[in-house]
């Protein structure tokens, strides 16, 4: 299948950077990107010979500038800051180095920005680093959320964002008209086809992934993810820092794309999102990655997306019951409330290996709750 003409350059560069990583399965990547191995190896060869310019028709400007004067170097700092007004001294210093220019200390870059009045003193004072736990490998955990919403001339835009915890690689940045389950599932299926399946996804308790009135209960979207073999986690209510990396991504999106701009339509917003996503993943140095770009730490998941949901299987010693209306089940003549969205689905009741009378209720691999039959049931009203 040929490259999509709308974002051909982004796809070429993303493919090449992923394929050049140690241990990358290049033929599998070709399948993920919908191209033939011959096409994939052609772009790799051009990249090896010419670098990024080999992927597009553009000027053959040299990557190194050994005779660049101080004035020209200062001009390069100003030009790059003009392109990326939200980038600070560390990001600008690393990006200039990646472009083959002489090394400038971040403090030197910052002084140049101050000299040209390109730093807002209030923003500089408010910029504080975030410290977070990081998962060991790509696709161990994805974080997912909506970045609020904003108006366009064609209706409200709800940016859907999906971020890999380990690499900070942005897997999806979609301009959605609303936040319904069907919309999210459609976009997620596209992401899964392209990048494979993660081990786990974390979201907040809001719709459509959670149940705001009953935090921790399963929604229809969560049930679909569990059926795919993905473990799900929910942030604690009123604790957005649990999804801190995606929240930080939203701050960057707001500062570098949304602030001070208006959009004619969702398509116009998506065009801006696509352009910035390529910069964020492939060009923008990330301080939490010691100045590296997210794509240098990301690899496509080996777990392929199944076009048909696999059957739900339980162990031979499990008691299998079907969830009835209103999310109810009965076990040993006692009623228990599960999630409404599980109606018609089989769940397993598994005895505790250590304590008689304790049972765990599972949907597929997901442990839903523990019940204690030693307790005296409440009288039926």
Rg (C-alpha) for the chain, rounded Å, is 25
Do 142 and 201 form a contact (C-beta atoms < 8 A)? Answer: yes
313-322 CB contacts, 8 Å cutoff, 24+ apart: 314/346, 314/348, 314/362, 315/348, 315/350, 317/350, 317/351, 318/348, 318/349, 318/350, 318/362, 319/348, 319/349, 319/350, 320/346, 320/347, 320/348, 320/349, 321/346, 321/347, 321/349, 322/346, 322/347
CATH number at residue 180: 3.30.420.10
Residue after which a domain boundary falls, among 265, 297, 329:
297
Domain that holds residue 257: 142-297
190 shares its domain with 247: yes
Residue 380 covered by a domain: no
44 shares its domain with 96: no
What's the rounded Cα separation, in Å, for the pair 19 and 41?
A: 9
Residue 314 covered by a domain: no
Residue 255 covered by a domain: yes
241 shares its domain with 171: yes
Do 63 and 53 form a contact (C-beta atoms < 8 A)? Answer: no
The predicted structure's pLDDT at residue 298: 95
150 shares its domain with 290: yes
What's the rounded Cα separation, in Å, for the pair 101 and 62?
A: 10
Do 357 and 372 form a contact (C-beta atoms < 8 A)? Answer: yes
What's the rounded Cα separation, in Å, for the pair 231 and 366?
A: 7
Which of 304, 282, 301, 302 has its CA nearest to residue 16? 282
147 shares its domain with 239: yes
Residue 39 covered by a domain: yes
The predicted structure's pLDDT at residue 125: 42
161 shares its domain with 279: yes
254 shares its domain with 149: yes
Residue 137 covered by a domain: no
The predicted structure's pLDDT at residue 81: 84
160 shares its domain with 277: yes
The predicted structure's pLDDT at residue 112: 82
The predicted structure's pLDDT at residue 58: 45
The low-confidence residues of the chain, meaning pLDDT below 70, are 1-7, 57-69, 120-136, 212-216, 236-242, 376-381
Look up the pTM and report it.
0.73
208 shares its domain with 293: yes
Q: Any residues with CB less than 8 A from the CB of 86 and at least 6 apart, and which?
A: 252, 255, 256
Residue after which a domain boundary falls, among 96, 124, 152:
124
> How many structural domains compose the chain?
4
148 shares its domain with 289: yes
Residue 133 covered by a domain: no
Residue 134 covered by a domain: no
Q: For 140-197, how does the pLDDT look when each residue is reduced to its tens digit (9 = 90+)?
A: 999 999 988 999 999 999 999 999 999 999 999 999 999 999 999 999 999 999 999 9
The predicted structure's pLDDT at residue 252: 92
Buried-state track 33-49, b at ≥16 Cβ within 10 A, e below 16: bebeeebbeebbebbee
What's the rounded Cα separation, in Å, for the pair 145 and 207?
A: 10
| Dihedral over alpha carbons 170, 171, 176, 179 (to 10 degrees) | -100
Q: For 42-60, how does the pLDDT look when each residue is reduced to its tens digit (9 = 90+)?
A: 989 989 888 888 887 545 4
Which of 219, 215, 217, 216 has its CA nearest to residue 179? 219
Residue 131 covered by a domain: no
28 shares its domain with 77: no
148 shares its domain with 291: yes
């Amino acid at each position: 299948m040929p490259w999509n003409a709308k974002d051909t350059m982004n796809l070429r560069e993303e493919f090449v950077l992923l394929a050049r990583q140690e241990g990358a399965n290049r033929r599998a990547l070709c399948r993920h990107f919908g191209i033939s191995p011959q096409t994939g190896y052609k772009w790799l060869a051009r990249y090896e010979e010419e670098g990024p310019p080999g992927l597009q028709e553009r000027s053959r400007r040299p990557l190194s500038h050994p005779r660049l004067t101080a004035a020209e170097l200062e001009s390069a700092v100003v030009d790059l800051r003009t392109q990326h007004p939200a980038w600070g001294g560390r990001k600008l210093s690393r990006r200039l180095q990646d472009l083959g220019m002489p090394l400038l200390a971040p403090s030197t870059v910052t002084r140049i920005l101050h000299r040209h009045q390109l730093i807002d003193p209030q923003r500089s004072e408010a910029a504080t680093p975030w410290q977070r736990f990081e998962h060991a490998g790509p696709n161990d955990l994805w974080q997912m959320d909506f970045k609020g919403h904003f108006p366009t001339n064609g209706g409200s835009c709800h940016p859907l964002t999906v971020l890999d915890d380990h690499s900070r690689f942005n897997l999806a940045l979609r301009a959605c008209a609303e936040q319904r389950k069907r919309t999210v599932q459609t976009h997620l299926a596209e992401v899964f086809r392209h990048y494979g399946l993660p081990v786990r996804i974390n979201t907040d308790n809001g719709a459509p992934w959670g149940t705001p009135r009953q935090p921790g209960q399963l929604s229809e979207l969560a049930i679909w993810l569990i059926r795919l073999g993905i473990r799900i986690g929910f942030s604690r209510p009123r604790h957005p820092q649990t999804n801190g990396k995606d929240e930080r991504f939203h701050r960057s999106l707001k500062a570098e794309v949304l602030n001070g701009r208006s959009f004619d339509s969702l398509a116009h917003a998506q065009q801006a999102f696509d352009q910035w996503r390529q910069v964020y993943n492939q060009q923008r140095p990330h301080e939490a990655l010691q100045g590296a770009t997210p794509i240098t730490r990301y690899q496509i998941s080996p777990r392929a997306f199944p076009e048909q949901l696999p059957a739900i299987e339980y162990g031979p010693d499990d008691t299998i019951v079907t969830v009835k209306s209103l999310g109810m089940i009965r076990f040993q003549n006692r009623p228990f409330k599960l999630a409404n969205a599980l109606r018609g689905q089989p769940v397993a009741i598994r005895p505790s290996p250590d304590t008689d009378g304790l049972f765990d209720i599972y949907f597929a691999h997901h442990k839903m709750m523990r019940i204690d039959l030693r307790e005296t049931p409440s009288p039926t009203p």
